[in-house]
Amino acid sequence: MMPLTRLIFDAVHELTVGSLLCLALLPFGLIRRGFFRTCVLILASVLGLEVWVSPTPASMILFLSVLLYGGSLWLSSDRWPPLVLRLGIAVGAAVVLVPILRAAEVRSLSLETVALIVDAMTSSLLLGSALVGMLLGHSYLRDPVLPVALMRRLGNLFLLATVVQGLFLAAKMGSLYLFGGPEAAARIGVLSTSYGPVLLGRLIVGTLGSFVFACLIWDTLRIPNVQAATGFFYVAILTVMIGEFLGRYLWHSTSIRF
């Protein structure tokens, strides 16, 4: 498999982990099971595509854990789905973090390793909160009595993820420029010249655009207007996905993770 394709499938893993984490923040008994089943169907579809195109042990284990969670949603008991969901989160976190630790070739927890972990988990929450927030907004059409606090919870998480990702990106570029040495300076030079338009797209659409829509979602939910916030989530999921794709393209091309 081409390295860029592998990076895209890594983003699918982060989407899965972030979505499962967001589902764990929502009260299971308060929302219809159809909402959780829809989320699982979408995650299983994208993971199934990865398994079909390029099966790996990690992708198959994650796919099976999502299917197991989906199967628990058809049980009458309310006890099993949260337990299986926690199992899926643990499996997903291992799938996302273990390759990072192996690629870093670390025997102890270094600053670079911590940065890679924070970057991966931030991307996971950014992707997951955008997707689950968009899907949750539709549940209010069927159950208008649902507390708006649930939607605000995802909106706040999405806003926090955009802020952390933006600040982390600025700090990472600053540290590379100041302390990275000649090799890092050369990579930054290639980034600004050969990949300038891609970098601008990553920053303007992926980072700034997602932040703007996160602010709009937060402000709209203060009214509150869940329907309008759902529409903003629709656009936000596009800005996030475009930003993550461009960021991984730059990572593949310049060895600087965006």
Identify the pLDDT of residue 180. Answer: 66
Overall average pLDDT of the 56-60 stretch: 92
Band (77; pLDDT cuts 50, 70, 90): confident
Overall average pLDDT of the 123-134 stretch: 96
Q: Where in the sequence is the domain holding 33, given as residue range(s)?
A: 3-254
The total of structural domains in the chain comes to 1
Identify the pLDDT of residue 74. Answer: 94
Structure tokens, 204: 């303007």
Higher per-residue pLDDT: 112 or 252: 252
Respond yes or no on whether the N-terminal peptide bond of residue 224 is cis (omega within 30° of 0). yes
> What does the alpha-carbon distance between residue 154 and residue 31 come to, in Å, rounded to a whole number?
14
Please give the share of the chain, as a percent, with pLDDT higher than 70: 91
Overall average pLDDT of the 11-30 stretch: 94
Give which of 160, 154, 155 is closest to 26, Cα–Cα: 154
The answer to whether residue 104 scores a pLDDT higher than 70 is no
Cα–Cα separations (whole angstroms), residue 30 to 120, 145, 185: 30, 10, 53
* 3-state secondary structure at position 7: helix
Identify the pLDDT of residue 230. Answer: 95
Band (103; pLDDT cuts 50, 70, 90): low
We report the CATH number of the domain holding residue 176 as 1.20.1630
Identify the pLDDT of residue 251. Answer: 81
Higher per-residue pLDDT: 115 or 95: 95
Distance of CA 151 to the CA centre of its chain: 17
Identify the pLDDT of residue 172. Answer: 79
* Lowest-pLDDT choice from 27-31, 163-167, 193-197, 220-224: 193-197
Identify the pLDDT of residue 256. Answer: 73
Structure tokens, 95: 């799938």
What is this structure's pTM? 0.92
User: Which residues have a Cβ under 8 Å from the Cβ of 65 and sit 6 or more positions away?
Assistant: 87, 88, 91, 92
Per DSSP, the chain holds a count of helices (H) and strands (E) of 10, 0
- Phi and psi based region of residue 181 (left: phi greater than 0; alpha: psi -120 to 50; beta: remaining): left
Higher per-residue pLDDT: 255 or 219: 219
Structure tokens, 49: 């595509």
The answer to whether residue 97 scores a pLDDT higher than 60 is yes
Give which of 141, 152, 146, 163 is closest to 211, Cα–Cα: 163
Q: What is the mean pLDDT of the chain?
A: 88
User: Count of residues for the chain?
Assistant: 258
DSSP string computed for 192-252: HHHTHHHHHHIIIIIIIIHHHHHHHHHHHTTTT-HHHHHHHHHHHHHHHHHHHHHHHHHHH
> What does the alpha-carbon distance between residue 176 and residue 55 come to, in Å, rounded to a whole number?
35
User: Which residues have a Cβ under 8 Å from the Cβ of 63 and sit 6 or more positions away?
Assistant: 44, 47, 48, 50, 51
Amino acid at 105: E
Are 119 and 168 contacting, i.e. CB atoms less than 8 angstroms apart?
yes
Identify the pLDDT of residue 142. Answer: 86
> What does the alpha-carbon distance between residue 153 and residue 49 come to, in Å, rounded to a whole number?
30
Overall average pLDDT of the 20-41 stretch: 94
